[in-house]
């Protein structure tokens, strides 16, 4: 009981983590008492706040806030800016975590439970229809606790955290390794492209840079990875469909251009950054301006009427956090965000598992506007906090 009272802040965070994949509003409710405890500790000098590890990120958000306030667009874009404020607040209070290892294990448990719940949903669907429609995004999301990109990245984190803990918690290593296998199986079953690429990429990085064996053993391991990945593309139709594998390269490129939304989105982003109204240093004046420009681009450049209607209905954003910061804040925002990324890479590069999580998140930034979503803001803050602690 004494230990519970002494660590109530950490236990509330564990509860917040467990609710995160399953309930949208509950984590914010739990965040209130967590915040009060944090403020109490700060004012009584029982904990301190370190700003230096966050300096580039804080400068980025401060720059965007000041710019929005000066232009009078802060209120209109408050949904996105509230996400940035949530990130800042979480990164400050997560510094108060007393037991980092237990916190990291709570993250593993949370993501594992999310995957297990999705397994149950998938099993129910398969028993009814005798198929798993993971070649289709709309149907796939119905069978998952989280949307496929987020389900995939949480499984990637679960995979690498499991392997990490299997080394340190030797008594339970076989149970934890089994969990790692289930995370990998889940990634394959749901045909999560980026997650699958991340796992194989980091396995290659491990054998080349971290695994202390001879040159020929490294080459053999890399060849095995290549053949295994190629085998998955050949035998799993959902995965091959997700990677737009056709009878030849020309046909594959044609299909990818037709069905991958980011081909259109990123082309529109490039066009948007080349018009005279765009300021290369400061970016566009508001997120609403960016959304309007995307809408205009979709209306004017997409020839197929059904595809055009789909894009206009979905109102697709940049699907790339780097592009998004460039559009809203110009080269200034992009450089600050890149500096933040590089700063944390320097902190974690000597630890393979920390590097694996870091690379997974950076790759995720290249395909998603992570900070547009509440779950993405929590996810980003949790792992950035882990990196901060790692570099302490």
pLDDT digits (tens, 9 = 90+) for 188-220: 999 888 999 999 999 999 888 888 878 888 889
pTM of the model: 0.91
Among 93, 150, 130, 163, which Cα is nearest to 388's? Answer: 93
pLDDT per residue as tens digits for the range 19-46: 999 998 899 999 999 999 988 887 887 6
pLDDT of the residue at 370? 94
CA distance 3 to 7: 6
pLDDT of the residue at 221? 87
Q: What are phi and psi of 84, to 5 degrees?
A: -65, -40
Long-range CB contacts (< 8 A, 24+ apart) of 75-81?
Answer: 76/286, 76/287, 76/288, 77/286, 77/287, 77/288, 80/287, 80/371, 80/372
Q: What is the mean pLDDT of the chain?
A: 89
CA distance 98 to 37: 13
pLDDT of the residue at 392? 45
CA distance 82 to 135: 34
pLDDT per residue as tens digits for the range 105-140: 999 999 999 999 999 999 998 888 888 877 666 677
Instruction: For the chain, list the strands marked E by DSSP.
Output: none
pLDDT of the residue at 347? 87
The CA-atom distances, in angstroms, between 174 and each of 31, 151, 188 are: 35, 24, 21
Q: What are phi and psi of 37, to 5 degrees?
A: -65, -40
Burial of 300 (0-12, 13-18, 19+ CB in 10 A): exposed
CA distance 265 to 260: 9
% pLDDT > 90, the chain: 60
Average pLDDT along the chain, 392 residues, taken 10 residues at a time: 67 94 93 91 73 86 96 94 95 87 93 96 89 74 90 95 92 92 94 91 89 84 90 82 75 78 93 94 94 94 89 91 96 96 89 92 94 94 78 46
pLDDT per residue as tens digits for the range 137-151: 667 788 899 999 999
Q: Quote the crossing angle between the two packed helices 321-348 and 374-390, to the nearest 10°.
A: 20
pLDDT of the residue at 107? 94
């Amino acid at each position: 009981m004494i230990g519970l009272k002494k660590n109530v802040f950490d236990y509330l965070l564990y509860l917040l983590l467990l609710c995160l994949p399953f309930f949208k509003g509950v984590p914010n409710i739990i965040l209130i008492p967590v915040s009060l405890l944090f403020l109490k500790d700060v004012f009584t000098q029982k904990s301190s706040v370190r700003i230096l590890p966050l300096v580039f990120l804080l400068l980025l958000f401060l720059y965007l806030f000041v710019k929005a306030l000066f232009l009078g667009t802060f209120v209109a874009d408050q949904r996105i800016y509230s996400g940035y404020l949530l990130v800042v607040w979480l990164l400050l209070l997560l510094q108060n975590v007393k037991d980092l290892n237990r916190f990291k294990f709570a993250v593993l448990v949370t993501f594992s439970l999310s995957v297990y719940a999705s397994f149950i949903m998938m099993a129910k669907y398969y028993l009814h229809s005798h198929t798993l429609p993971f070649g289709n995004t709309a149907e796939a999301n119905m069978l998952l606790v989280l949307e496929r990109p987020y389900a995939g990245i949480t499984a990637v984190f679960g995979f690498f955290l499991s392997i990490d803990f299997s080394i340190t918690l030797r008594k339970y290593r076989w149970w934890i390794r089994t969990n790692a296998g289930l995370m990998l199986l889940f990634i394959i079953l749901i045909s999560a492209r980026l997650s699958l690429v991340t796992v194989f990429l980091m396995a290659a990085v491990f054998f080349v840079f971290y695994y202390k064996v001879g040159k020929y053993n490294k080459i053999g391991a890399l060849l095995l990875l290549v053949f295994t990945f190629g085998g998955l593309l050949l035998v799993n139709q959902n995965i091959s469909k997700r990677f737009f594998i056709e009878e030849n390269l020309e046909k594959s490129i044609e299909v990818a251009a037709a069905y991958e939304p980011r081909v259109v989105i990123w082309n529109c982003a490039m066009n948007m950054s080349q018009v005279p109204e765009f300021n290369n240093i400061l970016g566009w004046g508001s997120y609403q301006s960016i959304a309007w420009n995307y809408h205009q681009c979709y209306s004017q450049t997409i020839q197929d009427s059904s595809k055009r209607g789909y894009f206009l209905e979905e109102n697709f954003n940049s699907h790339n956090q780097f592009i998004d910061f460039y559009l809203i804040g110009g080269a200034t925002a992009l450089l600050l965000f890149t500096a933040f990324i590089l700063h944390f890479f320097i902190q974690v590069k000597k630890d393979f598992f920390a590097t694996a999580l870091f690379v997974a998140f950076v790759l995720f930034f290249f395909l998603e506007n992570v900070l547009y979503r509440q779950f993405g803001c929590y996810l980003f803050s949790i792992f950035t906090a882990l990196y901060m602690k790692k570099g302490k």
